[in-house]
Amino acid sequence: MIQKCLFPAAGYGTRFLPATKATPKEMLPVLTKPLIQYGVEEAVEAGLNTMAIITGRGKRAIEDHFDISYELEHQIKGSSKEPLLDEIRSLINQCTFSYTRQVEMKGLGHAILTGETLIGNEPFAVILADDLCTNGHDSVLKQMLEVYEKYQCSIIAIEEVPKEETYKYGVIAGNLVDNTNDTYRVTDMVEKPDPKEAPTNMAIIGRYILTPDIFDILRETKPGKGGEIQITDALLEQAKKGKVIAYKFHGQRFDCGSVDGFVEATNYFYNRMEA
């Protein structure tokens, strides 16, 4: 059973400056809820209850968010505002949160390796809170756990993107398996390829289930695209052994790492609230 979910949350969020000068980008709200809370809710919905968060300097607000604020609780107790804290309280009651700091920003692969101390030797999920995912039925992570049950290897979520946008994503190539139309055994993967060099238009989005041998691979992974240690490069080593499945998830993803995606997500959730 997978119980732990890793949240790399050490990045600077430069695309949202000046908002992210003193506020972690994971704390930017879509309506009234910070991005990372959507991620934690998705993990809980998938049955995970141990959250492992990779932070960095200036990220204290994340720890405070997933903790009780006694002064605030005292102030609003018995008032009409009290229910506004129900959702976050319920998360705090259901999960444990642990944190470790990534001291140097050396890429997503390095951030995940930093989490080894919180994860140990067991398979685990990774959520990039920037990619806000929603689905009427099962959450993306829940769908992926079902795929994991079947294949017992690393699972990555993918989505088709316009070919000219491949430079923003890890891109995979693979073969459909088991008469499915949404599950591929990965044969190749490249981090942020130029559209001319991209093997396909199937892009990795920020949901992973990783087997713990990934840590040993990451230790050996040399800096790749952008001089950073890339999880895509480490996964390619597993893929060479047939141990990575890509799953075209059901649902919708908003790229909240960009202003456009953030506004789209905000409009989507606002309209849903009114409906």
Which residues of the chain form contacts with ligand G1P (CB under 6 A)? 108, 128, 131, 169-170, 191, 203-206, 230, 232, 257
Closest contact distance (angstroms) between CB of 26 and ligand G1P is: 12
HSE-CB at 40 with a 13 A cutoff on CA atoms is 29
The answer to whether 20 and 34 are in contact (CB under 8 A) is no
Beta carbon nearer to ligand G1P, 88 or 139: 139
Going by DSSP bridges, is the β-strand pair 96-101/131-134 parallel, antiparallel, or unpaired?
Answer: unpaired
The answer for 257, left when phi > 0, alpha when psi is -120 to 50, beta otherwise, is alpha
CB of 135 to ligand G1P, least distance (A): 17
Q: Please check whether residue 116 is in contact with residue 213, taking contact to mean a CB–CB distance below 8 angstroms.
A: no
When the beta carbons of 4 and 110 are compared against ligand G1P, the nearer one is 110
CB closer to ligand G1P, 88 vs 159: 159
Q: Which two tokens stand for residue 220?
A: 């050996």
Nearest distance from C-beta of residue 71 to ligand G1P, angstroms: 36
Other C-beta atoms lying within 10 Å of the C-beta of residue 159: 18
**Nearer to ligand G1P (CB atom), residue 174 or residue 257:** 257
Residue with tokens 């705090």: 92
Distance of CA 250 to the CA centre of its chain: 16
Q: Is the CB of 2 or the CB of 256 nearer to ligand G1P?
A: 256
Query: Among 93, 94, 61, 88, which residue's Cα sits nearest to residue 76?
Result: 88
Chain-centroid distance, C-alpha 211: 16
Q: How near is the Cβ of 24 to ligand G1P at its closest, in Å?
A: 15
The total of other beta-carbon atoms located within 10 Å of residue 270's CB is 12
CB of 165 to ligand G1P, least distance (A): 10
Q: How far is the CB of 173 from ligand G1P (least distance, A)?
A: 14
Distances (CA, A) of 107 to 9, 188, 212: 11, 20, 18
Q: Check the CA dihedral 63-51-169-225 and report its sign.
A: positive
* Nearest residue to ligand G1P, scored by beta-carbon proximity: 170
Minimum distance, C-beta of residue 186 to ligand G1P, in the bound complex (Å): 13
